């Protein structure tokens, strides 16, 4: 049996009785960082052998772990914190288990995205967990574009080295949406900073972060699928003057009004040239 075991995201007391029992009973623990996991194992007197299983050796390790499982042994997969496979290693091994007819199950527990979602105070009705952004800006834009106009709450992870850059990027893409930044969750210095992208309060740059961003409004989602020019015409054709139309489009798209105003001016100039 393969066990996907959730571990604490900060406070080591936040582990289930079943997780401790499983970690004691399996033949092997595949850990993202064996030194980090050792702190948890030592606290609960778990002496099970551990091996490294992280993003840099995941593909190479899979065959060995599959053969170990096929021999009748049991393996528990843990990440440094939270639920394996959620922005952490584990999915490749699950794919291999399914392909080889190996049973696997999940041992429930903490997930940073869920904690951050609830702490944010934003809608929990529907949400998407998008994890860490890609490194290159062009890849970041391609990554978030499909989610830009969705009405669901968005959850991202960010490191201490990237948080300022990530928040600036989020504002650039999503505009002035409500957001929260959670850090050190479940620990003594847990902090939740709520505000609006582009005008967030100062954030202590320590620890790991989860950024939760308000989804697009239902009514704006359909309009935001239009080009900016089509969006402006939607309002002007409906009887609004240009100034009010620009204001509405900027609000729908959650961007600065001057960005929309530039497009409106270009439209007006083209009309003037066509009439000349």
Q: Please give the C-alpha separations between residue 87 and each of 90, 253, 270, in angstroms, as whole numbers.
A: 9, 28, 48
Pair 79, 7 in one domain: yes
Residue 32 reports pLDDT greater than 70 = yes
Instruction: Among 165, 192, 216, give the residue marking a domain's end.
Output: 216
Number of domains in the chain: 3
Supply the pLDDT for residue 192.
Answer: 97
Pair 252, 236 in one domain: yes
Dig out the tokens for 62 from the structure.
């899979």
Categorize the per-residue pLDDT at 218 as very low, low, confident or very high, splitting at 50, 70 and 90.
low
Q: Which residue shows structure tokens 């002496």?
A: 47
Query: What range does the domain containing 262 cover?
Result: 220-275
Tell me the chain's radius of gyration from C-alpha atoms: 24
Distance CA 103, CA 38 (A): 26
Q: What is the pLDDT of residues 38-61, one digit of tens each?
A: 999 999 999 999 999 998 888 889
Q: What is the pLDDT of residues 64-88, one digit of tens each?
A: 999 999 999 999 999 999 999 998 9
Share of the chain above pLDDT 90, in %: 66
Quickly list DSSP for 123-147.
Answer: --SSEEEEEEPPSSHHHHHHHHGGG
Per the CB < 8 A criterion, the answer to whether 25 and 57 are in contact is no
Give the pTM: 0.77
Pair 241, 268 in one domain: yes
Average pLDDT over all residues of the chain = 91
Residue 95 reports pLDDT greater than 80 = yes
Q: What is the mean pLDDT of residues 243-271?
A: 83
Pair 100, 177 in one domain: no
Instruction: Among 107, 130, 164, give the residue marking a domain's end.
Output: 107
Pair 90, 128 in one domain: no
């Amino acid at each position: 049996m393969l066990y996907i075991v959730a571990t604490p995201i900060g406070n080591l007391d936040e582990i289930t009785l079943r997780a401790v029992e499983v970690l004691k009973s399996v033949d092997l623990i595949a850990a993202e960082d064996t030194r980090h996991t050792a702190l948890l194992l030592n606290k609960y007197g778990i002496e099970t052998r551990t091996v490294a299983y992280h993003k840099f050796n995941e593909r190479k390790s899979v065959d060995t772990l599959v053969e170990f499982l096929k021999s009748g042994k049991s393996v528990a997969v843990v990440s440094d914190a939270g639920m394996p496979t959620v922005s952490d290693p584990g999915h490749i091994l699950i794919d291999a288990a399914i392909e080889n007819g190996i049973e696997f199950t999940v041992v429930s527990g903490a997930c940073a995205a869920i904690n951050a979602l609830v702490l944010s105070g934003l809608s929990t009705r529907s949400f998407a967990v998008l994890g860490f952004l890609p490194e290159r800006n062009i890849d970041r834009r391609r990554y978030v574009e499909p989610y830009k106009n969705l009405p669901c709450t968005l959850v991202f992870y960010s490191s201490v080295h990237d948080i300022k850059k990530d928040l600036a990027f989020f504002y650039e893409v999503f505009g002035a949406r409500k957001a929260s930044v959670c850090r050190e969750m479940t620990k003594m210095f847990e902090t939740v900073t709520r505000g609006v992208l582009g005008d967030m309060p100062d954030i202590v740059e320590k620890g790991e972060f989860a950024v939760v961003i308000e989804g697009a409004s239902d009514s704006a989602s359909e309009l935001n699928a239009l080009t900016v020019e089509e969006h402006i015409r939607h309002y002007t054709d409906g009887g609004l003057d240009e100034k009010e139309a620009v204001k509405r489009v900027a609000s729908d798209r959650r961007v600065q009004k001057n960005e929309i105003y530039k497009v409106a001016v270009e439209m007006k100039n083209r009309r003037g040239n066509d009439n000349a």
